[in-house]
Each structure stands twice: as C-alpha cells, then as structure tokens.
Amino acid sequence: MNLKGNKMNLIMLLPLLIGSVGILQGTINRHVATHIGVAQATLISNAVTVLICIAFYALVKSVPSLVPDFFQVKAPLTTYKWWFIFPPLFGFCIVTGIPLAFAKLGAVKVTVLLVAAQMVTSVVWDIFVEDIGLNMMKFAGILCALVSVVLITLSKN
C-alpha cells in the first residue's frame, strides 16, 4: 500500500471541505448579518476566530507533537514583517464582502465568480511568484470556468 499516495489523495479532500465550509460560512453570515448587521456579525465572527487562534497557538506551543511540522512555530513574533498584515486584511474583506454578495447575487453566482477569480489569480501568482508556467490544460480549465461564469451569470435566477 502506498501511504504517500493515500496521504496525497486525502489532502485533495481538504480544499473540497474548505470550499464547502466557505459557502456555509458566507451564507450563515449573511443570515446573521440580516439580524444584527454586517459590522456586528464581522466583530463576533472575528472575535471567535481570535479566541480559536489563541487556543490553537497555545496548543502548538505547549504540545508541538500533536500537530504536523507545517503548523509548528518557526520564529518569534518579533520577526513579523510589515507585509504580514495583508492576509488578515484579505480575510476581513472576505468575511464582510461574501455575505453582501450572497444577499445580492445568491450563493451559486458568487461561488462561480469566486472560483473564476481564484483560478485567474492563482495562475498569475504561479507565473510571477512561484515561476510555474501556464500550460494548455490549465488554460482550458480557466476558460471553462469563465464560460461557467458567463452561463450562470446570464441565468435569470
């Protein structure tokens, strides 16, 4: 039995799970926001996230053997660089923007637009940051995603 291959197959499930959770988060946040407002929903959501992150950080620091090496603390917080602020800013945009987009467009249209934007952005990132070229299969996949965006966006509901 090829354990490395099985681990790779299992890790392929992670983006599927995250994608599903992302849709659930956005749609539930939309409903929460309609009851208490986006500002308050975002505050509650991020406060809970901070508490979970603090608990996770404490766990990793106190019992590092419980988590894979990828999650280990590798440098002190004093090595924080100015540009490390961008991921939380992007996360804030996602947490506040997705519920609004879902409310105005619906989950399917938003999701298809998100996937298309993610595909294009990831190809640009791979080309210019990771030095990974664009091949015909990737190009065809992006083209299919863009066609999907057009078809779903043009649908009446």
The whole-number pLDDT of residue 2 equals 54
Please choose, from the candidates 79, 97, 100, 85, the residue with its C-alpha nearest in 3D space to the C-alpha of residue 31: 100
pLDDT in tens, 23-77: 899 899 999 999 999 899 999 999 999 999 999 999 999 999 999 999 999 998 8
pTM of the entire predicted model: 0.74
- Measured between alpha carbons, how far is residue 27 from residues 33, 49, 64 in Å? 10, 17, 35
Confidence of residue 5 (pLDDT cuts 50, 70, 90): low
Q: Are 114 and 92 contacting, i.e. CB atoms less than 8 angstroms apart?
A: no
* pLDDT for residue 79 is more than 80: yes
Cα 8 to Cα 151: distance, rounded to the nearest angstrom: 33
Domain boundaries, the chain: 1-78
106-131: pLDDT as tens digits: 888 898 888 888 888 999 999 999 99
How much is the average pLDDT of 142-147? 88
Give the model's confidence band at 153: pLDDT under 50 very low, under 70 low, under 90 confident, else very high: confident
- Using the predicted structure, report yes or no on whether residue 93 has a pLDDT greater than 80: yes
Selected residue with higher pLDDT from 8 and 21: 21
One-letter-per-residue 3-state SS of 32-75 = HHHHHCHHHHHHHHHHHHHHHHHHHHHHHHHCHHHCCHHHCCCC
CA dihedral 57, 61, 64, 66 (to 10 degrees): -40
